[in-house]
Amino acid sequence: MNNRRIWRGTNSFTYQIFAQGDNTDRRIRMFSRVKEDTVDYDWAAPWDYFTGRNVRLHLMANCPDDFSLCGASGGSVSMPFVTWDNSDRWFNWDIYGRESAGVGRDKITLNRFRMEFWGEGAGAVVERGNSTPRWTRCDSGTYFKSGDITYPKACVFNEVTPRLTYKMDSDYRSVSSHIYEAQYFPNRTYPTLVPDGMPQPRDKKIPGRYDAQNPAAPGLHRITEELHPSEYKENGNHKDGACYKKGPHKDLYADTGLPTPPNTPAEQCDEYPFASTLEGAAHPEWDFSVKAVPQRDNSIAGGLLGSYYNDDRILAWDPELPAQIANDRFYVHIE
């Protein structure tokens, strides 16, 4: 009447969503369904008992951003509400981050994804809706591999704070203990800022500690020997100077490095921040710590770090990355 909408009834329902990243392609796979036995019907007229049940509900995953940035595959799934309410079946769609829109060395894209739903039937106008959009990051980094297997493309969820967890109660506990000391008691660590007997000029500053209350805390940025040869080499040179008093920086640490070098091969020099980070021993603005640890502990902890880089898809530092795309940073948490 006079183009006015007249309320006839309401169908309410609970729908579920989960999504999985992909480590072989620039996509995420999104799953959704109406939770069984959650549909409620509230219709004005008694004769509309079957009307509400037969209204068709459409579900579809989509990318709300520009088509040149991302896209979705898979059309909508449509069933009457009564059918949805009596099914526990999951349906899935794929959301892609387009490589052609990627920026930087690793062709990074940031885009959102969401579920959309609408209905039709019984001559009714059914309001459309959607879930809260979430963010995903896709890349084409070619340096991710495990053994002979490579992972040249992937999408991950980037609304979390990446952190590597090392445990005190573990078979690499000496490394965990070293990192804990470096993060919480940096002035106890070597190299010292000045030789023994001289006043401490300031507190040591060592980054990378995970702080759930401070997402802006100084983190760590991954580097690789292939992509950042000079930074990687200098981290090693400073470590060797501080641990063994050898190499091009031996004189710098002659009076401040470890009093007793690691007893190799049973022991190794463990450094934190890691040699594979921009904030490693050579960084001009951050301090570092070295300690002799058992070779086995260091090997196990190093393997966990390598796996973490792959599993959490930590991209390597890209100095040419545009300002609107932040370089990956991560943290280390000791528990």
pLDDT of residue 50: 87
pLDDT of residue 3: 65
Whether residues 258 and 207 fall in one domain = yes
Residue 226 is assigned to a structural domain of this protein: yes
pLDDT of residue 125: 67
Whether residues 81 and 167 fall in one domain = no
pLDDT in tens, 237-275: 999 999 999 999 999 999 999 999 999 899 999 999 999
Q: Domain of 42: which CATH number?
A: 2.60.40.10
301: enclosing H helix or E strand: helix 295-311
Alpha-carbon separation of residue 171 from 165, 267, 299, 301 (angstroms): 14, 15, 10, 9
Which 3 state secondary structure label does DSSP give 23? coil
Residue 2 is assigned to a structural domain of this protein: no
Which 3 state secondary structure label does DSSP give 297? helix
Kind of pairing between the strands at 91-97 and 70-73: antiparallel
Domain that holds residue 74: 9-157
Kind of pairing between the strands at 331-334 and 163-166: parallel
CB-based contacts of 165, cutoff 8 Å, min separation 6: 332, 333, 334, 335
Residue 239 is assigned to a structural domain of this protein: yes
Residue 104: other Cβ atoms inside 10 A? 17
Give the CA count within 13 Å in the CB-facing half-sphere of 113.
33
Whether residues 232 and 258 fall in one domain = yes
Whether residues 69 and 198 fall in one domain = no
Of 113, 128, 157, the last residue of a domain is 157
Residue whose C-alpha is closest to residue 274's, from 228, 326, 216: 228
Question: Measured between alpha carbons, how far is 236 from 70 in angstroms, rounded to an integer?
Answer: 41
| Ranges of the chain with pLDDT below 50 | 1
pLDDT of residue 264: 87
Question: Measured between alpha carbons, how far is 93 from 87 in angstroms, rounded to an integer?
Answer: 18
pLDDT of residue 2: 60
Tell whether omega for the bond before 265 is within 30 degrees of 0, i.e. cis: yes
Whether residues 106 and 188 fall in one domain = no
As separate numbers, helices (DSSP H) first and strands (DSSP E) second, the chain gives 5, 18
pLDDT of residue 215: 85
pLDDT of residue 223: 98
| Beta-bridge partners for 16 | 33
Alpha-carbon separation of residue 145 from 53, 138, 207, 265 (angstroms): 51, 17, 27, 28
Whether residues 172 and 236 fall in one domain = yes
Phi/psi of residue 237, nearest 5 degrees:
-65, -45
Question: Measured between alpha carbons, how far is 307 from 293 in angstroms, rounded to an integer?
Answer: 21
Do 247 and 241 touch, CB atoms closer than 8 A?
A: yes
Whether residues 291 and 264 fall in one domain = yes
Whether residues 222 and 263 fall in one domain = yes
Of 107, 131, 157, the last residue of a domain is 157
Residue 1 is assigned to a structural domain of this protein: no
pLDDT of residue 193: 97
Whether residues 55 and 169 fall in one domain = no
